């Protein structure tokens, strides 16, 4: 492809002015600039997500202990105090919504266990 010199660039600029008008060119340039900024920020987020995914995959490759069955309420507070069980890593095939739902369910179970422990202390 031949190099574009000054005369070629002037002809291109003249054609753009004739097609779009002098008033619309700055608006179009602003729009292109905004689009590029959005594109760059989204690609940066994708890179961060890829890094997070790589860390998650590495964590999932470690051996995972099976989750214990629920115990009676009296024994459960001792389990929570002694050593909280590590949260099982979600399967990589799950969507972000599914992972969030599982985390919310796990948080609800932990809150219920903490409430039962507090009730046992006050009783």
Using pLDDT thresholds of 50, 70 and 90, give the confidence band for residue 114: confident
Structure tokens at 48: 């961060």
Is the pLDDT assigned to residue 92 strictly greater than 80?
Answer: no
- The pLDDT score that the predictor gives to residue 75 is 46
Query: Is the pLDDT confidence value at 72 over 90?
Result: no
pTM exceeding the 0.85 threshold for the entire prediction: no
Q: What is the pLDDT of residue 121?
A: 77
């Amino acid at each position: 492809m031949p190099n574009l010199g000054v005369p070629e660039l002037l002809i291109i600029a003249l054609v753009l002015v004739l097609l779009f008008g002098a008033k619309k060119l700055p608006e179009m340039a602003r729009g292109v600039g905004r689009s590029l900024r959005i594109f760059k920020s989204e690609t940066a987020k994708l890179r961060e997500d890829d890094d997070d995914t790589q860390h998650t995959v590495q964590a999932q490759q470690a051996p995972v202990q099976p989750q214990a069955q629920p115990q009676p309420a009296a024994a459960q507070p001792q389990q929570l105090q002694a050593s909280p069980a590590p949260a099982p890593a979600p399967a990589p095939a799950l969507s972000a919504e599914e992972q969030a739902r599982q985390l919310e369910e796990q948080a609800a179970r932990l809150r219920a266990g903490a409430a039962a422990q507090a009730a046992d202390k006050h009783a």
